[in-house]
Amino acid sequence: MAEDKEIAEDKELIFISFSKNKTGEVAKVLCKLLKAIYGHGADALVSTFLSSQSLSAGSFDDQIHIKLKSARCGITILSSENKINAPWLMYEAGFLASSVGLNGGELVPYLFKRHIDDVEGPIKKLQNCQFHEEKCEAYKELFKFLKNVNSTLINKQKVIDIEDILLNRWDEVYLDLAKIYSDMRDLSLSSSGDKKTETTQNGSLSLGATRIDRFSTEEQNYIQFSNDFSAKTPRELKNMFRKVLETQIDPSWIRQNDNDVHYDTHRVIVHGTRFSTFVVFTDGLRVVLFNRPNDLKNTNVENDLYDVFGAVAFENGSLNTKIKSQSFLDAEILRIEPIEGAAIEANRKKSNSEVETAVMIGVCVYLSTENLELAKNEMQNNEIEIINISTLNSMRKKLTSKAELGAQHLIHKHLSQSRSLSPS
Query: What residues contact 358, with CB distance under 8 A and at least 6 apart?
Result: 273, 274, 275, 276, 312, 344, 345, 346, 347
pLDDT beyond 80 at 262: no
Number of domains in the chain: 2
Q: Is residue 156 part of a domain?
A: yes
Within-domain flag for 203: no
- Is residue 198 one of the residues assigned to a domain? no
Are 140 and 247 within one domain? no
Q: Is residue 202 part of a domain?
A: no
Alpha helices in 14-61 (DSSP H): 21-38
How far apart (Å, rounded) are the C-alpha atoms in residues 266 and 263? 8
Does one domain contain both 261 and 403? yes
For residue 248, the number of C-alpha atoms closer than 13 Å in the C-beta half-sphere is 16
| Bridge partners of residue 16, in order along the sequence | 50, 75
Question: Are residue 276 and residue 393 in the same domain, yes or no?
Answer: yes
**CA 249 to mean position of chain CA atoms:** 31
**284 & 165 share domain:** no
Better-predicted residue by pLDDT, 422 or 131:
131
Confidence of residue 117 (pLDDT cuts 50, 70, 90): confident
Kindly state whether residues 164 and 271 are assigned to the same domain: no
pLDDT band per the 50, 70, 90 thresholds, residue 260: low
291 and 162 belong to one structural domain = no
pLDDT at 247: 85
Tell me: do 144 and 56 sit in the same domain: yes
Distances from the Cα of 378 to the Cα of 141, 148, 287, 325, angstroms? 59, 54, 18, 5
Alpha-carbon distance of 72 to 160, in angstroms, equals: 22
* Pair 185, 238 in one domain: no
Q: Give yes or no: residues 239 and 183 share one domain.
A: no
Q: Is 270 exposed, middle or buried (0-12, 13-18, 19+ CB in 10 A)?
A: middle
290-331 per-position pLDDT tens digit = 987 776 565 555 566 889 998 888 888 778 888 999 999 999
> What are the b/e assignments for 329-358, b being 16+ CB within 10 Å?
bebebeebeebeebbebebeeeeeeeeeeb
Q: In the predicted model, what is the mean pLDDT of residues 40-53?
A: 79
pLDDT number for residue 140: 92
**C-beta of residue 100 within 8 angstroms of C-beta of residue 126:** no
Percent of the chain with pLDDT over 90: 28
- Rounded to an integer, the average pLDDT of 389-398 is 82
Structure confidence at residue 63 (pLDDT): 63
With vertex at residue 107, the alpha carbon angle to CA 103 and CA 111, rounded to the nearest 5 degrees, is 165
| Same domain assignment for residues 77 and 184 | yes
Residues 50 and 111 in one domain: yes
As a whole number of angstroms, the distance between CA 203 and CA 333 comes to: 59
| CATH, residue 393 | 3.90.79.10
113 in a domain, yes or no?
yes
pLDDT at 202 exceeding the cut of 70: no
The CATH number for 129's domain is: 3.40.50
Residue 210: what pLDDT? Answer: 42
Which residue range(s) make up the domain with 314?
Answer: 234-421
Do 273 and 345 sit in the same domain of this protein? yes
Would residue 79 count as lying in a domain?
yes
Q: 13-39, pLDDT tens digit by residue?
A: 898 887 777 888 999 999 999 999 998
Look at residue 350 in the predicted model and tell me its pLDDT. Answer: 59
